[in-house]
Structure 1
Amino acid sequence: MSRNASVVNAPELDAAGFAALFERLRGRADWGEADRRGALNYITPSTVRAAMEEVRLGRSVSLAVPVSTDVTVDNPQPWRHEMISSPADHRDEPGVHFAFDRLAMNVHGNADTHLDALCHVIYDGKLYNGVQVDAVERDGAPALSVDVMRDGIVGRGVLLDIPRVREERWLRPGDQVTAADLVAAEEAQHVQVKPGDLLFVRVGHRRRRKALGPWDTASARAGLHPTALEYVADRQVAVLGSDGNNDTAPPSGVVDFPVHVLAVNALGVPLIDYLYLEDLRTLCAQHDRWSFLCVVAPLRIPAGTGSPVNPIAVL
């Protein structure tokens, strides 16, 4: 597929078109008025047992970006790592001593791997499933918080490698992944996304960053076209993740972060932003296996809007 084929075929969305798409997708997420789990309802004991059967190689791979404390153009608020007490402090002291450190992060930055809870995205004054914004308080978000996922997310993961299908090293900032791209990747990789799957869409973000250096990803990045969320709904995806922000920048249409709005707010699909998919891509390509067991363990933050995560793929 040529680089511009998908972009040319990506439909333009005006305000009315986006509003209709939002309503259409919101109607697909009908778990009842009291629901707070969203698309995680697609994960069942049977889907978890089936995911266990994906393990053939006995190989585990991290899908998280290494923690960085360096200030860069795409990470102006990096992790803060402070040594409270280092091993060197006790160099000449007899007996037992301990090293201590402390970490702090901007959970929803543009560089670190993190999970977006369903309380993260407010659209037209409401959260997922019509929950009022009053549920999100100044000291946290008790409704729809990341604590809903405290038992972890375990399921079948699927990697769809869009640059591989387009025969490119990476997608360029502004490029958009359409539903047609996702179907083409399924066909090329001989894999099909099933209900309850964790879908990871590679755009080549980290590979481009390694080759060319960091850039202002807040204003320029590859991601999904909003209409690709119809595919996500059709496949009954439980979790959506990407090695970028999932959203394209500049955004497609009249709404900022349209994929976040449609996934989190309309469909109740938790998002994982800024994954590291290069090691997984290599292993999957070597063995021509693009599905695997995946475990995501967010921190237990009772009122958190998200959490750093280190998803693990087991092939």
Structure 2
Amino acid sequence: MTSNPSDSPTPPPAGTGNGPAVSHEEFDALFDTVRTWGRWAVADRGAWNRVSPDHVRRATALVRSGTVVPMARPWDTTAGPDNSRPALHFMSDLGDVEAPEPATHKDFIAVDYHGKAVTHLDALSHVAYRGQLHDGRPARDLVDSRGARFGAVSTLGPLVTRGVLLDLPSVSGSRWLEPGQAVHAADILAAERTLDVTIGEGDALLLRTGSVRRRAERGAWNPDAASAGLHVNAMPLLAERGIALLGGDGDSDVRPSPVEGVHSPVHALAIVAMGVPLLDNLDLEALSAACVGAGRYAFLLVVAPLNIPGGTGSPVTPLAML
């Protein structure tokens, strides 16, 4: 993987810079290969069923220095090319109304968090493919104006497990991956060797492409048009490893999509086929530095979504502890 930063990223056409093009028929065959339907009794927790108390105990042993690294981006109330639905933040009480002491200050927040600006968790109800949610459940019957009755974020609850950071720019010797650059299975294997870390069952895999750093230095762009991320040919490897969670500083999908007629193929494979929730829009810059300082790329990860009955996901502040 090499990087050639530019002020105005131009997305490569599918099948060139972002990897080989994949037909709809090839994608459907891949989907059927990696799906885990019928595997777990509590189907709408999906791959989080892989994380046992033993996983948690082993993960807590990774906390040595006590360093805690939050990975959420700031609450973004400013519209831009990567924030078409800005979050809201208003003061609802400024302490200027006569009342007994002490005075209080209150605020109101609201957000349409699925998108490119807010750090959030995608629950299993967030994505349907071929009309089906994970485990083959019919989306139209289970998600309506009242929310989701299968795959809700409230069913997931918190996740505490071993996190693994694959710091891809560090591996390639670049400042960031260019928007539109695809990450393949071979890149993941090379990163494991270089960083001396191995993705295991029940792990949360986090991919750093350096998009946060690029945005800070070069300005915002439209990540729906071009973003670094996984090519679908990397997903069988992650299915084989048995990950419980996938996340990154983008939304895990390379864009433009390499799959004909499917705009977010990694979302479909991870959430619908594999039952793996996604963490989108992380800020992994501080974690990258912390991992370099610690000399290791595995840590304790804690993700605690809001308890929203029927919710298709939640804003989150994931924590890495080293």
Using structure 2 for the length normalisation, give the TM-score.
0.92
SS at match of 2:290: helix
Alignment of 1:43-62 (within 5 A): 43-62=51-70
Specify the alignment match of 1:85 in structure 2: 93
Specify the alignment match of 1:306 in structure 2: 313
1:24 aligns with 2:33: yes
SS at match of 1:102: strand
Aligned pair partner of 1:97 in 73, 92, 103: 103
SS at match of 2:125: coil
| Structure 2 unmatched ranges of 5 or more | 5-15
Q: State the superposition RMSD in angstroms.
A: 1.7
Q: Deviations over 1:196-233 (max 9, x none)?
A: 01110011110010001111112111111011111211
Q: Deviations over 1:15-46 (max 9, x none)?
A: 121011001011x4541576221111110010
Specify the alignment match of 2:13 in structure 1: none
Specify the alignment match of 1:68 in structure 2: 76
Specify the alignment match of 2:301 in structure 1: 294
Specify the alignment match of 1:277 in structure 2: 284
Q: Deviations over 1:101-127 (max 9, x none)?
A: 111011201111000000010111110
SS at match of 1:83: strand
Question: How far, CA to CA, are the matches of 1:130 and 1:93 in structure 2?
Answer: 56
| Structure 1 unmatched ranges of 5 or more | none
C-alpha contact 2:40 2:46 (8 A) present in aligned 1: no
Q: Deviations over 1:77-100 (max 9, x none)?
A: 11100100124x36x976222111
Query: Which shows bigger deviation, 231-240 or 33-42?
Result: 33-42
Question: How far, CA to CA, are the matches of 1:262 and 1:213 in structure 2?
Answer: 31
1:15 aligns with 2:24: yes
Equivalent residue letter for 1:47: H
C-alpha contact 1:33 1:129 (8 A) present in aligned 2: no
Specify the alignment match of 2:10 in structure 1: none
Specify the alignment match of 1:35 in structure 2: 43
Task: Please list every run of at least 4 consecutive aligned residues from structure 1 whose deviation after the TM superposition is greater than 3 angstroms.
Answer: 1-4, 7-11
Question: How far, CA to CA, are the matches of 1:9 and 1:147 in structure 2?
Answer: 35
Question: How far, CA to CA, are the matches of 1:10 and 1:73 in structure 2?
Answer: 25
Alignment of 1:101-250 (within 5 A): 101-133=107-139, 134-150=141-157, 152-250=158-256
Question: How far, CA to CA, are the matches of 1:32 and 1:93 in structure 2?
Answer: 55
C-alpha contact 1:242 1:275 (8 A) present in aligned 2: yes
Equivalent residue letter for 2:128: I
Following superposition, the deviation at residue 149 of structure 1 comes to 1.8
C-alpha contact 2:40 2:49 (8 A) present in aligned 1: no
Question: How far, CA to CA, are the matches of 1:47 and 1:246 in structure 2?
Answer: 24
C-alpha contact 1:29 1:39 (8 A) present in aligned 2: no
Equivalent residue letter for 2:33: R
Question: How far, CA to CA, are the matches of 2:229 and 2:71 in structure 1?
Answer: 18
Following superposition, the deviation at residue 178 of structure 1 comes to 0.8
C-alpha contact 1:74 1:216 (8 A) present in aligned 2: yes
Equivalent residue letter for 1:244: G
Identity %: 44
Question: How far, CA to CA, are the matches of 1:34 and 1:71 in structure 2?
Answer: 39
